[in-house]
């Protein structure tokens, strides 16, 4: 049985490695990206290109996004020459990015009206895992649609989860990132407060790491605050975006999160201070210089 043709939009560090993995496994790709070099790398391995998202969708059985924001996703879907204008009946759109669930559900409904399906499938792990097809994939959507694309997802992920109805993947990813990024903010400020109070940061870590607060996130924060090693590959800008999406989600659900509001305010302040490209534990520097 022949493999489906895949249209892939978004060839950044993660998406580019995902595309390479798919090509290495024999998939025919049609690609688009603002980076000419990223497109050229895929073309050198045999990919085709499209001049518009509509053209890409017309030639694809599965369209995959690895994009930065819900706004970018909606622009590419709803443009006059966008995905919705060209997607084939029976085709599936898979969104690997981190998006607002309400936006995902709206897009899914509009695709369904054209006879196409959608899966939201945000990712865990790193670009290195993407290149080797070892990602964690949090997929959601209609079970028949999921089963249609499952073999391709299994070529991209070591662990592929089906989480329920469309939007559950993005919901789960936002909850996961809320928990993780709030933890990093709290631990980074703990080290900064210790420093201001004259408590040795290494000793603080030695004490805290022997108790239930110990976690990989604590280790990442210690690596930066104590050892000046920044090795959690997730930026303050991305964390700021995801916390903002989490707050939008809880508002859509008719509730609120004061914890998320506090972490989001700190991330936004660090971003405004020019620290957006630093890894999240580097918010320690913002907390260290923070004055009332």
Write out the catalytic residue numbers: 173
Q: Is residue 127 left, alpha or beta, with left meaning phi > 0 and alpha meaning psi from -120 to 50?
A: alpha
Say if strands 135-139 and 123-124 run parallel, antiparallel, or are unpaired: antiparallel
Q: Which secondary structure element, helix H or strand E, spans residue 11, and what is its range?
A: none
| DSSP designation for 25 | T
Cross-strand pairs, 63? 7, 93
Contact 184, 232 (CB under 8 A): yes
Q: Output the CA torsion sign for 42, 45, 48, 54.
A: negative
Distance from C-alpha of 219 to C-alpha of 231, rounded to nearest angstrom: 10
């Amino acid at each position: 049985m022949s493999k489906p043709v895949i249209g892939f939009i978004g060839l950044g560090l993660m998406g580019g490695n995902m595309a390479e993995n798919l090509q290495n496994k024999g998939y025919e790709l049609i690609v688009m990206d603002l980076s000419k070099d990223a497109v050229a790398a895929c073309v050198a391995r045999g990919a085709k290109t499209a001049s518009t998202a509509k053209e890409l969708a017309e030639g694809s059985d599965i369209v995959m996004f690895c994009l930065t924001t819900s706004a970018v996703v909606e622009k590419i879907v709803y443009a006059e020459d966008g995905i919705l204008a060209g997607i084939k009946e029976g085709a599936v759109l898979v969104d690997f990015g981190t998006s607002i669930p309400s936006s995902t559900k709206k897009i899914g409904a509009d695709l369904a009206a054209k006879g196409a399906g959608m899966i939201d499938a945000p990712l865990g792990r790193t670009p290195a895992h993407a290149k080797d097809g070892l990602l964690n994939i949090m997929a959601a959507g209609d079970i028949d649609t999921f089963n249609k694309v499952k073999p391709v997802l299994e070529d991209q992920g070591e662990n592929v989860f089906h989480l329920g109805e469309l939007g559950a993947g993005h919901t789960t990813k936002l909850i996961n990132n809320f928990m993780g990024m709030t933890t990093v903010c709290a631990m980074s400020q703990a080290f900064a407060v210790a420093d201001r109070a004259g408590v040795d940061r290494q000793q603080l870590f030695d004490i805290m790491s022997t108790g239930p607060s110990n976690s990989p996130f604590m280790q990442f924060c210690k690596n930066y605050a104590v050892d000046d090693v920044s090795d959690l590959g997730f930026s303050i800008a991305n964390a700021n975006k995801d916390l903002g999406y989490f707050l939008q989600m809880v508002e859509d659900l008719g509730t609120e999160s004061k914890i998320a509001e506090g972490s989001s305010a700190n991330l936004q302040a660090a971003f405004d201070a020019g620290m957006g490209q630093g890894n999240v534990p580097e918010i320690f520097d913002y907390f260290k210089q923070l004055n009332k």
